[in-house]
Structure 1
């Protein structure tokens, strides 16, 4: 009876520990993010939409009238699109760690193997990633999943039908 109680207690106590570990990782990621991202994570939402050819990463100010957050978001996304196109993923490595799922494969991609494009959208910006290489599509999807997990409440999964609805033409 005592053994059953101890096992049950140990199992019950281990469940919140997983949540605390996840919350702790999200706090670490948020703190490191401030080193790389000039905008406020709390004032923006990251949207990651997987597509058949890769994906679309959007960062939008929660208050689209917050001109400073919109400007900072757009500048940052333009910068990282240029860095990523050159194979420089040092920002995500710093924020999420070198063992971030998908990241090593993205770093190994040949120049031009992933088409990376920045676009301004209402309230922020987006970076589109596309490739004909199925392994890199998989790496992009893993990378998006890791960001969704690491950014917690500041990120959400998008749906392909809505990914282009805010684009400026």
Structure 2
């Protein structure tokens, strides 16, 4: 390899690294819809996009994300345990999501959180090695994600953390 080829290779690697860092920074900082409000604007944008994807009311429900050694558990519950309307909407949505995720379709989370959401690409690529189970609970529904691949467990944990960050007051770490 001559000097010119090495310089070109070094420039390409440097550009790729800067691009990756910039992409990560943009996801973390989120879109600057409100003149640079950063994370607050991102949470507002996520909530707005979430309303077009999730049929239940984010103000009347809570997402719980519990990482496990083999993946994780996602509970979505009505804040009022007797809110039959929200419970029915949660169940319908999570049933659909379980089916979509089992087929490698992570379009809804991508639409809400963006294509560069942490963990999303790895989950979409490795979907056949992640079991997704749906279960009803009295106040909503649960999706349980299980895999024996450490890289996919890490992807699930990253994906959960991103959702916790983006959903703000509408999400919490499970117990």
Q: For 2:100 and 2:66, locate their aligned partners in 1 and report how far apart those are by CA, in whole Å.
A: 20
Q: In structure 1, list runs of 5 or more residues that go unmatched.
A: 1-18, 160-169
Aligned residue for 1:84?
A: 101
RMSD after superposition: 1.1
- TM-score normalised by length of structure 2: 0.78
1:148 aligns with 2:164: yes
For 1:55-94, list aligned pairs within 5 A. Answer: 55-94=72-111
Report the number of matched residues.
140
Q: In structure 2, list runs of 5 or more residues that go unmatched.
A: 1-35
1:47 to 64, 86, 89: 64
Runs of 4+ residues deviating >2 angstroms: none
Per the TM alignment, residue 20 of structure 1 is displaced from its structure 2 partner at its CA by 3.5
For 1:1-169, list aligned pairs within 5 A. Answer: 20-111=37-128, 113-159=129-175
- TM-score normalised by length of structure 1: 0.81
| Partner SS for 2:58 | coil
Per the TM alignment, residue 110 of structure 1 is displaced from its structure 2 partner at its CA by 4.8
* Cα distance per residue 1:66-119 (max 9 Å; x no partner): 1100000011001000000000000000000000000000010152x1010000
